[in-house]
Amino acid sequence: MTGQFQLTEDQLAIQDAARRFTADAITPHAAEWDEKHVFPKDTIRAAAELGFAAIYVSEENGGTGLGRLEAALIMEAMAYGCPSTSAFISIHNMASWMLDRFGSAEVKAKYLPRLVGMEWMASYCLTEPGSGSDAAALKTAAVRDGDDWLVTGTKQFISGAPENDLYLTMVRTGEDGPKGISCLAIEKTMPGVSFGAPEKKLGWHSQPTAALILDNVRVPAENLVGGLGEGFRIAMTGLDGGRLNIGACSLGGGQRCLDEALRYTRERKQFGQAIADFQNTQFMLADMATELEAARTLLYLAAAKVTDGAPDKTRFAAMAKRLATDNGSAVADRALQLHGGYGYLADYPVERFWRDLRVHSILEGTNQIMRLIVGRDLLRQ
């Protein structure tokens, strides 16, 4: 960004390309994907052709080599059409970046060429049935056996499972707590890998979600991502960017809901006039727009801090994620209210956005955990 918080010409061009792709390839089909639980692989791979599958993977390794603000602009634009599909692409980007940033030359050469074009799709696997917010308490165990790791355990709520090809999985290789956690790249086809039943979700119907079940899976030692015992740090570093992206998805979805509410309230007439003419309606619309702009400004600032590696990047990413996801959901809720009974019907898109955005305050760290991150960082100063 330059001057008085203006996007650069390159950033505007990226934003425009993402918006045009969304208008052509996502928005016209999103309602059907939601209704029929369609996983739109062809559309997702078309996004990859624009570089949207490896946004901040280095150019050296075939990626686009952009920053976190550019990624946020892309995710926000695509979420205007479908938050679920945009969020799926965000998770793939997070996994690809983790390989690029922390993987050995061997593991990069093995997987990144297939990930940057989405020939393969990747998942991020941290959460377990017994460890959600307390992520460092994970139990999935990896025991060294010669040139391999033998991995046993279960990962819960895995976006992309069972369709995705590669699972970046946090496993326990040592002592209890965060220092005993490492990261392994596990392929779908490795013997002992299986999946739970598809989860029946409130929203996010355009991407599959299931448990990843690992039963004595033999994983080559070269598939270790980062050093031994560095998995928790890698996972948390990845989440800084993931939180920005999911916040951006809430901004895009919230903006769509605001635009739908503006359109509907201009057209809908009650008591002899458009409901947009009532001061109460205007107050609601004004608050919706203000809350989105406030969250957008904070999120863009946080994205710049994460790109620059600022000392307070994690705090700002947590603040931005909390504000953007809370505000996006609140805007969707008020947009539904302004639609009245029609907002509750699938004929209008706001109910889909209301459902899709609700999970954003839970995943990538709940918004209560975001407050803990911020509060503890403030007290350390």
Q: Which of 76, 260, 351, 364 is catalytic?
A: 364
Q: Which two tokens stand for residue 85?
A: 């599909």
Q: Is 260 part of the annotated catalytic residue set?
A: no
Which residues 6+ apart lie within 8 Å of 35 measured at CB?
205, 346
* 37 closest CA partner among 234, 202, 158: 202
Number of H helices, E strands in the chain: 11, 10
Give the integer Cα–Cα distance in Å for 71 and 77: 10
Nearest to 19 by CA among 67, 86, 65, 64: 86
Joined tokens for residue 354: 């209301």
Residues 6 or more apart whose CB falls under 8 angstroms from that of 354 comprise: 257, 329, 332, 333, 335, 336
Residue 359 phi/psi, 5-degree rounding, is -75, -15
Answer for the pair 246, 84: CB distance below 8 angstroms, yes or no: no
Q: What is the DSSP letter of 7?
A: P
d(CA 300, CA 306): 10
Cα distance between residue 51 and residue 118, in whole Å:
10
Strands 122-125 and 166-172, sheet pairing: parallel
Dist. CA 233–CA 74, nearest whole Å: 26
User: Residue holding tokens 């994460």?
Assistant: 306
* Residues classed as catalytic: 364
